Chains A and B, each alone.
Chain A
Amino acid sequence: MTGRQSTRSIYVVLLAALAIACVLAVFSGPVNVPFNQMLDSSVMRLRVARILLGLVVGAGLSVSGVIFQALLRNPLAEPYVLGVSSGAGLGAALAITLGLGALGTWTLPGMAFAGALATILLVYALARGAGGSVPVHTLLLSGVIVSAVLGSGLMFLVSVSSSKNIHNVVWWLLGNLQILDWGLLRAVSVVVLCGLVITMLFARNLNVMTLGEQPAAHLGLNPERTKRLFFVVASLMTGAAVAACGLIGFVGLIVPHTVRLVIGPDHRRLVPACALAGGGFLVLADAFARTVFPTEVPIGVVTAFLGGPFFLFLLRRRKRSYWG
């Protein structure tokens, strides 16, 4: 699997899968669109926006997962491991329970994004030790603790808010790709695309970081600066994704591991492959979520339900331990 030829064939397969997923998604939905009206109809515009959001969010979450797994040198790391989800959730729940959601379409995503950023800054500040270094384990611990504290705040808000608000908060927490605003889609896409480009440019540094911080320093890399850069990039991508469509779990965990099993641990190939696979997977999961049952199923349910068994299947086929 190391040859240039096979890498190229993997990309071709991924692109083909992505295209198939998009075509399937275009044709699936509660409304039947006649074939001759496919190109110009309102329903199509809605579907295309939804597919684009799926591609962007899937790519963003998967690549964030890759980054966190490499930075924290932990196979369980995923985009939400440092508390972005709880912070965003708290922001969104505040917006909903205070009734700010009615002020405008941007209030809720804005509050969620602000919550995510505030959480990241807090976690980083807490983990920052003497001399400005941020030990990985301290970062992980403070992330988990902050996440737990904010999570309890979220549960508190849910428990004291009225029953109607609870429904809305829960709906938001389950995550979905419905988008009604081009501006929001554009904003999320810009953030995620910038993050992807930066990650691809510095993918080599991620390879070095997986060796450990000391070896990385010996190889001439500034580990603190690298950590900070990727920490910011991954958090921004995750925050944008969460702000646009709530919490979609499992993508950031399963896609990186699956792709790593197939393509190997070199981040220069892993990052673009993950972006393609993550986008395709989420679009497919969304098509599944809105067609299989009469009422739409939360996409997080589908990602875990489809992704989990597939990942376990791959894991069992590769008998040897693949991590580390």
Chain B
Amino acid sequence: MGVNKGLLKKWCLATAVVGMMAALLLLSERYVPTDATPAGKMRIISLAPNVTEMLFALGLGDSVVGVTEGADYPPEAAKIERVGGFASPSIERMLALSPTLVIGEEGAPSAVVTTLHKADSRSLELRIRNFGELFDAFGKIGEATGTAGRAAEVVAAMRAELAEAARLYGSVPPAARPRVFVEVWRDPITTAGGPSFIDEAIALAGGVNVAHDVKQAHPTINPEQVVEWNPDVIVLCYMTSKGGAAAEIARRIGWADIAAVKSGRVINDIDPDHLLRPGPRLIKGVRALAERLYGPRAGERPGLAEGASP
């Protein structure tokens, strides 16, 4: 009898444990924090600084409830809650914000997207490698947020700016175009290759990217290669800091003979956020680059809007 009693106890205990686990499992499945969302109000999380800029350009600033580190423009974006870095957004923080839409750039961790999907929030993954894809991305965001009209306006304004650049610099014959080397990092020396939007920006500004034939977007370059390319203009545009030292370029071993160094055409005063961030301000980067290459043609420039920001 004693044996049976013990056995019964064990069975009861086992059943209780299994039951509790099942209950927990069910509860956690049911726990979806979207209940807190008031119906009709958009709550958007942006997983990249350029996406944040695009959302503000579309007038959606008030709906953005979460951004990543580095989202510093427009200034209002800096006050929005951070959900982590570009490569490591925190799923918990994102869920706590109960978003209705999460917008990231290609390369966001897939686990994040899957989890959010389970939590009933839509996600949008953008792929922006050139101006065409930037315009498409505006369209996609517009569609997903019901601001398609505004998106079309912003894209039209940017296209007008590009057409203006094409009018000013598109007619420059290939031989007269300055050959440009853009250095986006120094150690290792990194530039922008053919598939990058920076390459496109250089072309739009009337220059020729010396690294155009390199098939990577951001290749590491041997300094020998730069010496051989012998660019007419060197643009220093580092991601993490404003402006490299032009004097340092001239002191590099073997670089004194490069045409750009000889003629002193080393440019380091373009805001990296304008040239390295594929968002609404990329137009400003193109304009800044064109002005450095050809000089400000003040008389020829009609008063176009500052980028696409409202």
Contact = CB atoms under 8 A, between A and B. Distances in A.
Contacts of A172: 187
Interface stretch (A44-52, A64-72, A144-152): A44-52
A30 B224 contact: yes
B257 A31 contact: no
Nearest to B239: A164
Contact of A181 (B70, B224, B239, B251): B251
B240 A108 contact: no
Nearest to A32: B228
Given A181-B252, A296-B220, 7 more contacts: A31-B224, A43-B227, A43-B254, A46-B254, A49-B253, A101-B187, A181-B251
Contacts of A207: none
Given A42-B256, A42-B257, A182-B253, A29 B244 contact: no
Contact of A168 (B185, B216, B243, B257): B185
9 contacts: A31-B224, A43-B224, A47-B224, A162-B70, A162-B85, A166-B87, A171-B187, A171-B188, A295-B219
B238 A102 contact: yes
Contacts of B225: 30-31
A29 B86 contact: no
B197 interface: no
Contacts of A163: 85-87
Interface in A75-111: 99, 101-102, 104-105, 108
Nearest to B216: A295
B125 interface: no
Nearest to B107: A163
A26 to B, nearest CB: 12
Contacts of B187: 101, 108, 168, 171-172
Contacts of A47: 224
A155 B222 CA distance: 28
A31 B228 CA distance: 7
Contacts of A164: 239-240
A73 interface: no
B184 to A, nearest CB: 10
A138 B238 CA distance: 45
B188 A178 contact: yes
Nearest to B249: A180
A29 B253 contact: no
Prevailing SS type, chain B contact patch = loop
Contact of B240 (A30, A105, A165, A180): A165
Contacts of B227: 31, 42-43, 46
B255 interface: yes
A290 interface: yes
Nearest to B221: A30
Nearest to A180: B252
Contacts of B216: 295
Nearest to B245: A104
Which residue, of B185, B187, B239, B243, has the highest number of chain A Cβ atoms within 10 A?
A: B187
B296 to A, nearest CB: 27
B171 interface: no
Interface string A13-43: 0000000000000000111000000000111
Contacts of A205: none
A102 B188 contact: no
Contacts of A44: 254
Prevailing SS type, chain A contact patch = helix
B241 interface: yes
B223 interface: yes
A315 to B, nearest CB: 35
A47 B227 CA distance: 12
Contacts of A179: 253
A176 interface: yes
B167 interface: no
A276 to B, nearest CB: 25
A172 B216 CA distance: 21
A46 to B, nearest CB: 4
Contacts of B254: 41-46, 49
A108 B255 CA distance: 21
A188 to B, nearest CB: 14
Contact of B253 (A30, A31, A45): A45
Nearest to B254: A42
A182 B185 CA distance: 20
Given A46-B224, A181-B253, A101 B186 contact: yes
Interface string B45-85: 00000000000000000000000011000000000000001
Contacts of B35: none
Interface string B251-268: 111111110000000000
A42 B254 CA distance: 4
B29 interface: no
A28 B237 CA distance: 30
Contacts of B241: 99, 101-102
Contact of B248 (A29, A31, A104, A171): A104
A29 to B, nearest CB: 5
Nearest to B276: A164
A180 B91 CA distance: 43
A165 B87 CA distance: 12
Contacts of B255: 42, 180
A172 B188 CA distance: 8
Contacts of B224: 29-31, 43, 46-47
A168 B223 CA distance: 17
Interface in B211-240: 216, 219-220, 222-225, 227-228, 238-240
Interface string A256-288: 000000000000000000000000000000000
Interface in B179-193: 185-189
